[in-house]
Amino acid sequence: MFTHKVDEDLALKLVEPQDAPRIFELIEQSREYLRQWLPWLDVTTKVSDTRVFIKGTRAHYIENKGMTTAILYKDEIVGIAGFNELDWVNRTALIGYWLGKPYTGKGIMTKVVKALVNVAVYELKMNRIDIRIATNNYKSLSIPKRLGFTEEGILRQAEWLYDHYVDHIVYSMLADQWESIEKEG
C-alpha cells in the first residue's frame, strides 16, 4: 500500500474504503467551492457515491493505471491528489487534485504536487508529468507556475462543467527539467 510522508504535518496515503465518510464530509463542507471547478459534485450526493469512487480508484491502482491518494494534514484527510492517469508506454503521468476549502491558502497543495512529481520522476521513472487546469482557476494555476512547470497551451472546451465548457491550460514537467530544478534548490 502506498504511503508517502511529505513533511512533519503532511502525508499522502492510498484512499481506502473506510475513508469514504470523511471524504464525503469534506466534499459536503466544500461543495459550492469545489463545484466551480470539478464536474462530479452533482453525482456525489451520498457516502455510497464516494465508496464507488474509491472502489474505482483502487481498481485503477491495481491495474497500474493511476494512483489516488488522500491528503493527510495533521492526520486528517483534507483533500485528494494523485495520478489520474499513468501512461507506461509514453512514461507520462497526469496529476489531479482538490482540497477542502478550509485548508486552502496554507501551501498544502504546492507541497503535495511537489511530492507527487518526485514520486513520478524518481520512483515511477516517468519522463513527463502533466497538469491540466481550467483557465480561470487562478488558485490552482499558481501551483504549477510556482513549481516551474512549462505552460504548453490551451485545450479549448476541454471539460463540460454543469452548464458550460471550460478551457484547460496544459502544464508539463519533464524529468530532466525537474532534476535541474531540484539541483538548483
- Please count the structural domains in the chain: 1
pLDDT greater than 70 at residue 1: no
Per the domain annotation, does 149 fall within a domain?
no
Arithmetic mean of pLDDT, 159-171? 96
pLDDT greater than 90 at residue 76: yes
Task: Please tell me the predicted confidence (pLDDT) of residue 2.
Answer: 78
Band (111; pLDDT cuts 50, 70, 90): very high
Alpha-carbon distance of 150 to 122, in angstroms, equals: 19
**pLDDT-above-90 percentage for the chain:** 96
Task: Please tell me the predicted confidence (pLDDT) of residue 183.
Answer: 87
Task: Please tell me the predicted confidence (pLDDT) of residue 141.
Answer: 96
Band (37; pLDDT cuts 50, 70, 90): very high
pLDDT greater than 70 at residue 153: yes
Per the domain annotation, does 147 fall within a domain?
no
Task: Please tell me the predicted confidence (pLDDT) of residue 67.
Answer: 97
Arithmetic mean of pLDDT, 134-148? 96
Per the domain annotation, does 177 fall within a domain?
no
Whole-structure pTM value:
0.95
Per the domain annotation, does 21 fall within a domain?
yes
Per the domain annotation, does 122 fall within a domain?
yes
Task: Please tell me the predicted confidence (pLDDT) of residue 29.
Answer: 96
Q: CATH number of the domain that 94 lies in? A: 3.40.630.30
Per the domain annotation, does 36 fall within a domain?
yes
Per the domain annotation, does 159 fall within a domain?
no
Task: Please tell me the predicted confidence (pLDDT) of residue 104.
Answer: 95
Arithmetic mean of pLDDT, 105-125? 97
Arithmetic mean of pLDDT, 60-69? 96
Q: Give residue 40's domain range.
A: 3-131
Mean pLDDT of the chain: 96
Task: Please tell me the predicted confidence (pLDDT) of residue 23.
Answer: 98
Per the domain annotation, does 183 fall within a domain?
no
Arithmetic mean of pLDDT, 141-168? 96
